[in-house]
Amino acid sequence: MSKSNKKVVPESGKALDVLKYEIAAELGLPVGKQLANANVEFATELGSIPSASIKEDYWGHIASRDAGAVGGTITARLIKKAEEMMLSL
């Protein structure tokens, strides 16, 4: 079985990225576009996150469990939104 990252609605890509980083920030994960966050700077100063490993849109230093939590939360929010839309019809 081939795996494809092709989106059913290609225009949704930007909105999904925004949601991904919003959830990562809520979970306190130091990834890509939230590098201005003071907690990330403090963590790199303490050495718990090597500053050289943090790059724009880089998730390699995030544990699989944490990355999975972001994906699971995205899925839960999208399902909730779909259910709300169905109830409002």
Element (H, E) at 19: helix 13-26
Average pLDDT, the chain: 76
Take residue 33 and report the two structure tokens written for it: 């576009």
Q: How many other C-beta atoms lie within 10 A of the C-beta of residue 36?
A: 7
Q: Which residues of the chain have pLDDT under 50?
A: 34-38, 40, 42, 44-46, 53-54
What pLDDT does residue 2 have? 59
Please name which of 62, 65, 56, 57 lies closest in space to residue 43, comparing C-alpha atoms: 62
